[in-house]
Structure 1
Amino acid sequence: MADPLQIARDALSDAQAWLVGGAVRDRLLGRTTKDLDLAVGGDVEAAARALGRAARAAVFPLSEAFGAWRVIGRDGGWQADLAPLAGTTIEDDLAQRDFTLNAIAEPLAGGDPIDPTGGRADLAERRLRMVSPRSFRDDPLRVMRLARFACELELEVDADTLAAAALQSQRLADVAQERVFAELRRVVAAPDPLAGLALMDDVGATAAVLPELAALRGVEQSAYHHLDVHGHTLAVLAETVALQRDPAAVFGAEPGARLAELLEQPFADELTRGTALRFGALLHDIAKPQTRGELDNGRVTFYDHDRQGAELSRAILTRLRTSERLKAHVAALARHHLRLGFLVHERPLPARRVHWYVTRCAPVEVDVSLLSVADRLATRGRKADEAIAKHLELARELIGPALAWEAGERPVPLIRGDELAAALQIRPGPRLGELLAELEAAQYAGEVATRDEAVAHARAVLAAGE
């Protein structure tokens, strides 16, 4: 692929333009970037169209209000955003940016970097510092960007910057929630999401963005837990990150390789399936505060927190304007995250019970199996070692069938629904659906193998129910 920066330099050699923002920052950090941000002094549309012609790329307006344009390379491997100067000079423009590491410009035609706020020195010191105290007043979303940059780039936040962010954090509730989620998803996807979430706590962003998560603090659990619900949730997230990085450590080489490939798949909302699982970890116990109870003997319970957690997860992600796919996925993870643990006491599992598990948990049968392992590993109260060992043994037994079911390796029906209805002389309806589900389970368990056996089995089930 041609170098998009060189294409831009050649195409805009006569324009007054600067490479700015993340592209400069990443180049200084030695990170590859395919996204260019260009500040243009002059006709932005003309510059965008000139770059588009040179690259034979798509060109379209990005923001009519701000006069920004986007150019996307033919292979989709790079893009350039062009915007007019914010002010009359490049120095004016840089003074209005969020952090010093994003307030560095390189003249596109060549020359020394323009760095009026000391961004290069801050990068060298691995320091995240605001351009000015008004940074967060101008746009409260920068509070979330602070957490995101700090955990993505492993930076220490300047004390004054932390204090200024904290003063504006509650205004995040007034920011368009899709913008908030765009930053939150990058915090959750970062190499160390717990560091980003801790920073969100430090500046008060969690209370504004995810008040339900903040409400988990101080919710005590049973003797089988060593942490309150908030601490446990973060521990589950940490175990999920570890599983995502090396599933083979728990499941062995062959299943581990298949799991790693699955978790890297693009999912929705610019997330991988692995990052969607992290959101499941973050929200799986979100309904525990509202379901907490105590029995007469003092035992703490959270009856129905799985079902109510599914509803609350969906409500949170709806508020954050995420896709329906992510809402349904995370809600299903919350709804089913206890199922594998309940089966530990039924071992050895007959084939029918395995079928029940994968069909009941589908389409998150693989993902929720991983979540259950992370949940179990993060629970280290009374009898933890014994419970973890039994849980992992069952998880290893179920992960193969779950992967197979997810991949579409399922019994081919021995008879169609209309054929079964005719053979049994019954009308289509719920009862027919139940019979077909029973036949699938019987076939999965090896109890029927032919069409005639399927009809006979269904007839017997139907007679027994009459």
Structure 2
Amino acid sequence: MHKAITFGNASDEERLAMTIAKRLMQAGARCYLVGGAVRDRLLGIYTTDIDIEVYGLSYEEIAQLINPILHVDLVGKQFGVLKAHGHDIDIALPRIEKNTGAGHRDFDVTVDPELDIYQASRRRDFTINAIMLDLSTMEIIDPHGGLKDLESHVLRHVDDNTFADDPLRVYRAMQFAGRLEYTIAPETLALCRHVDTTALPKERIYNEFKKLLLQAKRPSMGLKYMPDLGLIQQYPELAALIGNPEDPKYHPGERDTWEHTLMVVDYAANLREKSMHPDVLMWAALCHDVGKPLATHVSKNGRVSATGHDKIGRSIAETLLNRITEHKHLIKAVLPLVEYHMQPLLLYKQKNKVTDGQLRRLANSVNYHELLLLSEADTMSKKSGAVSDAHIKWLRSRFDALNLIPGQKIKPIVQGKDLIAIGLRPGKLFSDLLHQAYEYQLDGMPKEEILEIIKQKAASHNI
């Protein structure tokens, strides 16, 4: 592992951070790059999220020195933090923190510009995030063995006594394990199981899931730790997937629905670039089979079926998502994907009988582009056995032939003004006639023919 870091090919944020540090060091400060910025540099990742820790100057002195370079926001004074306005650069004094609640700011903070480096770094979560870079010498300082863990691909907590000060770190363990594809140290897993995470605000939790689902190449590398971290029991909808049997005919080699779900999530992660809404796709992949535990039936001959699990799963997924997030638009977009995720396969099995009207109605109910991506992840992510995307190609070609737009409902060609134009008067049956006209449209009937039928219906009802 490197003993020094060079910034010859630095990002704009890193160069600005160096300019700030040089000015502070000229005034006698000791400045260190800390946290994820150092970790990512050592991993060859260029980050725009920069944290500088400054020793030897007061909060006010730092602000006075930096302001001529750029404006700093003093919103974190009680935590000893200054933020470079318009940039992802935090300048912080060394501090000791003590948790007082579940909120992001629920800490008693003792700021001490003369604090010992080792003591100051004890508040960090994992050893790989406690590595420091001395910005005067560009040498690495590793007070807790983070370099060794970085080389071994191990996620290990820094300190038994400070780790639980922020319960979110249990979710961060899951998130980092997934994004970095690291193993969580046994002693860290044991510690996490004793951390109470139940009072955490849901949006803090959601953000860790979001990082995992949208940034990890294989989110399963983090999700698989949910049982060992003591998290899975907080999500009974997911816990129920563990041990729920899968039909070996369609899921050869898969232990249970939880393993199947993790495989689907990983496959979906490879489709994120094709997705219109990657966050929606990934949450749908995680939730798509949550209805199976209630629908699964094992026959006397050992055949496993879960008929109707897609429909049942919608309400279960809604409960799960509402527990994790307040993003109503996200939930609204995920639920139809869960409800209709079996449709591509079911329609293909009777493809010679499928009408254009069926497909138009399906496209009105769900974003069919995302549905096909989810179906691909669901059917192509098998451990063994034959796989085929024939149903996806067939259905996509049928949708394309109808000139439908994914995520957009088909606009009615017959409107109220059209009914008035043929002599109808608005009344209680008016909206019913418009609904019938729309159904005829979905079946492919042209506007003129629809209006003629509506006119006849209206005459029979004396409208």
Relative to the length of structure 1, the TM-score reads 0.78
Distance 1:360 1:407 in 2: 9
Alignment of 1:320-331 (within 5 A): 320-331=324-335
For 1:353 and 1:35, locate their aligned partners in 2 and report how far apart those are by CA, in whole Å.
49
Q: Are 1:193 and 2:205 counterparts?
A: no
Residue of structure 1 in register with 2:7 after alignment: none
Structure 1, 276-285 or 178-187: larger mean CA deviation = 178-187
Q: CA deviation at 1:107?
A: 3.7
Deviation per CA, 1:5-58: give whole Å up to 9, x if none: 233224534355432111111122221011111223444466357546524x57
Q: How far apart, in 2, do the equivalents of 1:96 and 1:231 lie?
A: 35
Q: Secondary structure at the match of 1:6?
A: helix
1:102 paired residue number = 129
Tell me the distance in 2 between the aligned counterparts of 1:37 and 1:201: 32
Per-residue CA distance 1:48-103 (angstroms, 9 max, x = gap): 57546524x57351x46534333243xxxx41123331142333211221111111
1:290-305 counterparts in 2 under 5 A?
A: 290-293=294-297, 301-305=305-309
Q: CA deviation at 1:419?
A: 2.5
**Partner SS state of residue 195, structure 1:** helix
Residue 409 (structure 1) shift: 9.8
Does the aligned pair in 2 maintain the 1:172–1:180 contact within 8 Å? Answer: no
Task: Name the aligned partner's letter for residue 82 of structure 2.
Answer: W
Tell me which residue corresponds to 2:8: none
Q: Shift of residue 323 of structure 1?
A: 1.0
Q: 2:148 aligns to what?
A: 121
Measure the CA separation in 2 of the matches of 1:225 and 1:285: 14
1:283 Cα deviation after fit: 0.6
Counterpart code for 1:40: V
Find the counterpart in structure 1 of residue 3 from structure 2.
none
Q: Look up the equivalent residue of 2:435 and give its one-letter code.
A: E
Does structure 2 retain, via aligned residues, the 8 Å contact 1:293–1:300?
yes
Q: Secondary structure at the match of 2:438?
A: helix
Asked whether the equivalents of residues 154 and 184 of structure 2 are also in contact (C-alpha less than 8 Å), the reply is: yes
- Look up the equivalent residue of 2:81 and give its one-letter code: A
CA distance in 1, matches of 2:416, 2:331: 32
- Mapped contact 1:225–1:380 kept (Cα < 8 A): no
CA drift of 1:355 comes to: 1.4
Distance in 1, Cα, partners of 2:192 & 2:407: 46
Gaps of 5+ in 2: 1-11, 97-114
Candidates 380, 388, 397, aligned match of 1:377:
380
The answer to whether the Cα contact below 8 Å between 1:314 and 1:327 also exists between their aligned partners in 2 is yes
CA distance in 2 between partners of 1:311 and 1:25 (Å): 41
Contact 2:238–2:258 (CA<8 Å) still a contact in 1?
yes
Structure 1 residues 231-268: Cα deviation after superposition (integer angstroms, max 9, x where no partner): 322232233234446xxxxxxxxxxxxxx2xx2x5xxx
Measured in 1, the distance between the counterparts of 2:65 and 2:315 equals 50
CA–CA distance in 2 between the matches of 1:317 and 1:353? 29
Offset of residue 105 of structure 1? 2.2
Match runs of 1:104-183 below 5 Å = 104-110=131-137, 112-168=139-195, 171-183=196-208
1:135 shift after superposition:
4.3
Distance 1:223 1:155, change over 3 A: closer
User: Secondary structure of 2:317's partner?
Assistant: helix
> Do the aligned partners of 1:366 and 1:403 also contact (CA within 8 Å) in 2?
no
* Matches of 2:332 and 2:193, distance apart in 1: 33
Larger helix proportion of the pair: 1
8 Å Cα contact 1:68/1:84 also seen in 2: yes
Structure 2: distance between partners of 1:454 and 1:329: 32
Alignment of 1:351 onto 2:356: yes
With over 3 angstroms needed to count, the CA separation of the structure-2 counterparts of 1:284 and 1:106, relative to structure 1, is same
1:83 aligns with 2:92: yes
- Secondary structure at 2:204 match in 1: helix
Q: CA RMSD in A?
A: 3.4
Structure 1: runs of 5+ lacking an equivalent: 246-259, 266-272
- Taking the TM superposition and a 5 Å limit, the aligned residue runs for 1:279-290 are 279-290=283-294
The CA deviation at 1:462 is: 5.9
Going from structure 1 to structure 2, the CA distance change for 1:22 and 1:402 (only over 3 Å counts) comes to farther
1:248 matched residue in structure 2: none
Which residue identity lines up with residue 47 of structure 2 in the other structure? Answer: T
Indicate conservation of the 8 Å contact 1:126/1:156, yes or no: yes
2:455 aligned with 1:459: yes
TM-score normalized by the length of structure 2: 0.78
> Which residue does the alignment assign to 2:391?
391
Decide which of 39, 54, 69 is 2:82's aligned counterpart: 69
Q: What is the CA–CA distance in structure 2 between the aligned matches of 1:378 and 1:244, rounded to whole Å?
A: 15
Residues of 2 paired with 1:206 and 1:331: CA distance?
Answer: 21
On the 8 A contact 1:358/1:401 being kept in 2, the answer is: no
The code of the aligned residue for 2:391 comes to H
Percent identity over the alignment? 28
**Other structure's SS at 1:123 match:** helix
Q: Does 1:367 align with 2:370?
A: yes
> Which residue number corresponds to residue 12 of structure 1?
24
